[in-house]
A = this chain, B = another copy of it.
Amino acid sequence: MTPGVETILEDLEHATGVEDLQQVIQALRDHFGVDHMVYHWVNSDGDQYGCGTYSDAWVARYLEKDYLKIDPVVYGCYQRFHPVDWKRLDWSSRAVRQFQVDAIEHGVGNQGYSVPVRGPNGQFAMFTVSHNAEDDAWAAFAETNRRDLILIAYFFNQKALEFEPGRRPEQTPSLSPREVEAMTFLAIGYSRAQVAQTLSISEHTLRVYIESARFKLGAQNTTHAVARAISRGLIVV
């Protein structure tokens, strides 16, 4: 690990507020000598929180256009575990290409490298480095700094979780085993009758579980409950 990173990480670990994160991320940007560095938390209800060096104009634009929904970086990171080079993402759709042009016009680099991070209750965030560079140079940079970036993403997320407890979905209540089973089977397409048969219980009993789970999850209906259970990591489909 580069000595500079070491000390900046120390600062990060001693950060006591959101404003410190902004300081740290700028220090990191300068240290790595890249155009931008951004931490981007995407909450399970579409809510988002970011901190980094993108221009205010670009952030506003991103929110205004609701780019979150089509951003291939978000989509790509969401599906992967390992860090992703933006080149490896799918930029083919029309809307996405428009987004790309818009981003570059707003000073986002043509190259990027994003590290997905996941926390409890389905929390999800990304730590991104963006720069203007040739492919070769960028590949070398990413390869060299990969481990540092993973650690930085990790500690950044740790701090973000620490500072923003309110941002987390309401203390996820745990589901009982039967409720988990019920939600899981519903999530893989079984009807109530099928689930009841599979679990060898009456459909009435099953309904109690579903309603109980729905209540615990604060969900409006079964689909909502299943969606929440999945995005909070209570069930795996």
Contact = CB atoms under 8 A, between A and B. Distances in A.
A80 B120 contact: yes
One complex includes copies of this chain to the number of 2
Interface in A143-157: 147, 150-151, 154, 157
Contacts of A1: 1
A122 interface: yes
Contacts of A74: 236
A33 interface: no
Interface string A197-235: 000000000000000000000011111101110111111
A89 interface: no
Nearest to A160: B81
A119 interface: yes
Given A223-B223, A226-B223, A226-B227, A121 B44 contact: no
Contacts of A46: 184, 188, 236-237
Contact of A232 (B79, B118, B221): B79
